[in-house]
Amino acid sequence: MKTSPIEFEVFKNLFLSIAEEMGVTLCRTGFSPNIKERLDYSCAVYDAEGNTIAQGDHMPVHLGAMPLSVRAAIDAVRMEPGDIVMLNDPFRGGTHLPDITLVSPVFLGRKKTPTFYAANRAHHSDVGGMSPGSMPVAREIYQEGLIIPPVRLVRRGVIVDDILALLLNNVRTPDEREGDLAAQIAANRVAETRLHDVVSRYGRVKTMKYAAALQDYTERVVRHAIAGVPDGDYSFEDALDDDGFSDTPVPIRVKISIRNDQAVVDFTGSAPQVTGSVNANYAITLSACLYAFRCLVQDDVLYNAGVGRPIQVIAPEGSIVNALKPSAVAGGNVETSQRITDVVLGALGTSQPERWPAASQGTMNNVTLGGTDPRTGRRFAYYETMGGGMGGRKGMAGLSGVHVHMSNTRNTPVEAIEHYLPVRVRRYGLRQGSGGRGRASGGEGLVREYEVLTETSVTLLTDRRRLAPYGVLGGLPGGVGCNTLIRDGWEQQLPGKVEMTLKPGDRLRVETPGGGGYGEP
């Protein structure tokens, strides 16, 4: 298929700009600080088969998972013009229950089947379940919140009131949830309008030709990058601290086989699925692997379906990296995804040690707060992740206080927290001395100390509190994180995964891990 390099660049930027404009719309019209401040969402455009054409530079943990949700929506619902399908089921391409995905078909002319799909996924601060924020230390998925199979939220342009009512009656903050869903609907409508504009200007045949060409080009670039890794089998192992119910570490093992321009990523030998919520479904594992291989590519290419074509992921069913229903999975999305990334990057690092960085903080440091705001008498449910240290790499120290790998959100500003919540932030800054020493040292973690002003339910899902981020080529490990309760002047160290109730005046201090060092100090 002959394509023009100039037109190729035009279409590449057109499709990317649509996904990015979806994200801007979602940010500007969202209600919750999780969307407006942290930007915890992803937006993308898909072809008629549900394959990604372009995804915005949003959340890496959604990269490989969202297409599986789009495919599940296509298979479950015969969509008509104006429809929008909603789902969050982790066993149909979802990540965890707070991440709600909306899928919209885009019809052109008189065609009876969609030519494109637009989809976005946003983290909602509460979707029910046993604790505010829907990120509990749970034993099964039913404790984590409302499970939504693919259902029409919008039918022929009109919101389905029964479906919306069912959702809003099962959450603690219905007004906020309705507002965030409206923002997601608006983002998809923007994509529909822009795709119609592109086809109106360039024609359907040319638009589809370049959509396919973009996927093929990304595949070629990724294959070229894989071919730059010496053929061989490369293994690595790391572990999660625990699952929240046992002190036993949860090992994740990988063997990556490189042959010419193809890779097989095999997690055989990883731990079985566990009691707690750190189980990862297949969509999470696929996302982490695709992200790691995308890091091989130095060229400016779109993230789309072409990334995954040269990569086969083997994740045994019933294991920590491919858990089966009804296992709890809230922490698998946020914590296990980071450890999967660590082991895949670690394995690739054994092939070309000087090319790959040390481990970054390896956790998202999930903090969930919930209760009743005495200022308004209304329920609140707040969720945030915290940055930490990036691993050192050749010629450059790791960055400090940043979100790494599978998380690409912002840190929530202190002003936003204190505006939205009955909480004071007593301390917020870099955690000096937490980065691993090396020729290029790891970045520093963060320390944030909250003081609650009313009785508040707190859930922590954190890791790297016992097992440190690894250094490479003689670099030292990064410092482990620490969670501390301060009550009546006494300090009590908390587990990495815990639920508790704080009373007014109690403080919670979260210290996040530093990155590992690169090279001998």
User: pLDDT digit string (tens) for 259-317?
Assistant: 999 999 999 999 999 999 999 999 999 999 999 999 888 888 888 999 999 999 999 99
Residue 473: per-residue pLDDT: 95
Residues 6+ apart with CB under 8 A from 389: 360, 361, 398, 399, 400, 401, 434, 435, 436, 442, 443, 444, 445, 469, 478, 479, 512, 513, 514, 515
pLDDT of residue 110: 82
Please check whether residue 186 lies inside any domain of the structure.
yes
Is 213 within 8 Å of 1 (Cβ atoms)?
Answer: yes
Helices (H), ranges, 414-484: 414-420
- Confidence bin at 1 (pLDDT 50/70/90): low
Average pLDDT over residues 146-173: 97
Collapsing DSSP states into helix, strand and coil, what is residue 33? helix
> Do the strands 250-259 and 151-155 form a parallel or antiparallel pair, or are they unpaired?
unpaired
Per-residue model confidence (pLDDT) at position 322? 97
**Is 229 a domain residue?**
no
Last residue of a domain, one of 199, 219, 239: 219
Tokens of 345: 């990057």
Q: What is the pLDDT of residue 346?
A: 96
CA distance 337 to 360: 13
Cα gap 339→360, rounded to integer Å = 10
Residue 2 pLDDT class (50, 70, 90 cuts): confident
Q: What percent of the chain has pLDDT over 70?
A: 100
Q: Is the model's pLDDT at 61 over the cut of 90?
A: no
- Mean pLDDT over all residues of the chain? 94
Model confidence at 60: pLDDT above 80: no
pLDDT at 247: 94
Q: Is residue 264 in some structural domain?
A: no
Query: Which residues does 142 contact at the CB level (< 8 Å), separation at least 6?
Result: 326
**Residue 270 in domain:** no
- Residues 462, 482: contact at Cβ < 8 Å? no
**Distance from C-alpha of 480 to C-alpha of 300, rounded to nearest angstrom:** 34
Q: Give me the pLDDT at residue 330, please.
A: 94
Residue 65 has pLDDT above 90, yes or no: no
pTM: 0.94
- The bridge status of strand 158-159 relative to strand 232-240 is unpaired
Domain count, the chain: 2
**Does 460 fall in a domain?**
yes
| CA contacts within 13 A on the Cβ side of 394 | 6
The answer to whether position 313 is within a domain reads no
> 373 pLDDT exceeds 70?
yes
Pick the last residue of a domain from 151, 184, 219: 219
Establish if 245 belongs to a structural domain.
no
Neighbours of 388 (CB within 10 A): 37
Instruction: Give the whole-angstrom CA distance, residue 208 versus residue 229.
Output: 33
Residue 95, both tokens: 């990540």
pLDDT at 50 (0 to 100): 94
Contact, 443 vs 435, CB < 8 A?
A: yes
Expressed as residue numbers, the domain containing 502 is 357-521
| Dist. CA 460–CA 447, nearest whole Å | 15
| 475 dihedral zone (left: phi>0; alpha: psi -120 to 50; beta) | beta
Of 219, 248, 264, which closes a domain?
219
Distance CA 259, CA 299 (A): 22
Residue 297 lies in a domain: no
Q: Which of 71, 464, 95 is nearest to 279 (CA)?
A: 95
